[in-house]
Structure 1
Amino acid sequence: MQHNQRRIDAIKRSFDIGASAFGLVITAPVQAGVAALVLATHGKPVLFRQERPGKDGKIFELVKFRTMLLPDENHATDEERLTAVGRILRSTSLDELPTLWNVLKGDMSLIGPRPLLVSYLGQYSPEQARRHEVRPGITGLAQVRGRNAVSWEERFQFDIEYVDNRSLALDLKILLQTVRSVLQREGINQEGHATMTPFVGSETKGGSDACE
């Protein structure tokens, strides 16, 4: 079983390299247009950069297009900072296009558990921490089963389900369902929040799966 998973991971990495390189080339005109739009509406910097934990918890720098204004006295919360342009970029997933660089470099995969905040690392249960056994993905099982609209407990359950059952067939299924979810703009945010409520630890660690 372990040998089979290593073979699948090797094939998957080869596909990630080819697909991300092709994606970067074919989306270059779109990315140039989005960059110009972000610059005009949000100013500099055009890219959002943030450290995230990858495979085995190794930290890397995630890159996306900015969807929010920089925080100031009038724009303190995520809801206040998220612009109309930003909402469109998020709902269409155009903000994710620069993340193909992370896939090409090997920080991420096209399919896998979404990379979350570094500050969450100490809050996972041992089972939840297993999401770092594989490269994080641009999209994953949790995203096609609700994206940001599912609870943290459900999201982690889907992540571990993917780790334990990953296969090329499952990746293809997730990829096709992602296209459908993006076209239908499903699960972009939790009700009343710009994206998803922060994770403060699961009930097994003395916290809850809801924040704020």
Structure 2
Amino acid sequence: MMYRKYIKRMLDFLLSLMAIIILSPVLIVVAILVRTKLGSPVIFKQKRPGLNEKIFTLYKFRTMTDERDEKGNLLPDDIRLTRFGKLLRSTSLDELPELFNILKGDMTIVGPRPQLVRDMVFMTDTQRKRHSVRQGLTGLAQINGRNNLSWEEKINYDLKYIQNITFLNDIRIIIKTILKVFKKEDISTDGMETAEDLGDYLLRNKKITSDEYKVNQSIAVGLLEEK
């Protein structure tokens, strides 16, 4: 309890600050490459639900273009995700700006990964308990299959983690995450370039109706408009 309540946040601040300083040359080089190959903005910003479902702005390096069709709509992710973008994702370099989220206190180093607002609204009350802690750069789900887990499996790992937050457990997850990054394992869901939204997954598997899907999507839009 002492670690979870007091020490974890202190370590997050110190370690993220050290990482930003040490990795600053890498951050600068990646930023220049993103600007050159993908254009501006270099940083991709997106609203995500964090601790106690408070919505914050998550930072990542951009990995996709802004290509649109003749009607002005963005093209599918698999078209906009470039070879360079895939490289950033496979090496997890796109995640480096999240160190600033950790420094600010929006996130933690180890915890459930921050999902989209439109994912959160499709979770059950029990599943939404994953937001009772700060969302993490890596977590238990990430070392046990990452994007090759089903939504139910991912959330169950998140719930399992929040029941046993200890220093040793966090160290173990960090070490296994580093090994996963070097091996480039489970970067994307089999057969998909980007992860499937929870609502789309539930609808595809007939676990919700089309009406439920539309209602929850509207709720997600409303939550984002409040910010």
Q: How does the TM-score come out when normalised to structure 2?
A: 0.85
CA distance in 2, matches of 1:167, 1:121: 26
- Alignment of structure 1 residues 140-155 onto 2, 5 Å: 140-155=139-154
- Tell me the CA shift for residue 202 of structure 1: 5.4
Mapped pair 1:64 → 2:60: yes
Structure 2 equivalent of residue 49 of structure 1? 45
Describe the SS at the equivalent of 1:142.
Answer: coil
Aligned-partner residue type, residue 207 of structure 1? I
Structure 1 equivalent of residue 105 of structure 2? 106
| From 26, 31, 40, the counterpart of 1:30 | 26
Aligned-partner residue type, residue 5 of structure 2? D
- Tell me the CA shift for residue 9 of structure 1: 3.1
- Are the aligned partners of 2:112 and 2:136 in contact in 1 as well (CA < 8 Å)? yes
Aligned-partner residue type, residue 195 of structure 1? T
Structure 2's unaligned 5+ residue stretches are: 210-227
Matched pairs, number: 204
Q: Which runs of 4+ in 1 moved over 2 A?
A: 6-9, 205-208
Structure 1's unaligned 5+ residue stretches are: none
Aligned-partner residue type, residue 195 of structure 2? M
Q: How does the TM-score come out when normalised to structure 1?
A: 0.91
Describe the SS at the equivalent of 2:59.
Answer: strand
- Tell me the CA shift for residue 176 of structure 1: 0.2
- Are the aligned partners of 1:148 and 1:196 in contact in 2 as well (CA < 8 Å)? yes
Structure 2 equivalent of residue 207 of structure 1? 208
Structure 2 equivalent of residue 164 of structure 1? 163
After superposition, the C-alpha distances for 1:155-199 in whole angstroms (9 at most, x for unaligned) are: 000000001111111100000000000000010001121121111
Structure 1 equivalent of residue 117 of structure 2? 118
Identity, % of aligned pairs? 43
Structure 2 equivalent of residue 92 of structure 1? 91
CA distance in 2, matches of 1:64, 1:73: 25
- Are the aligned partners of 1:113 and 1:131 in contact in 2 as well (CA < 8 Å)? yes
After superposition, the C-alpha distances for 1:56-115 in whole angstroms (9 at most, x for unaligned) are: 000100001000011412861111111111111111111111110000000000000000
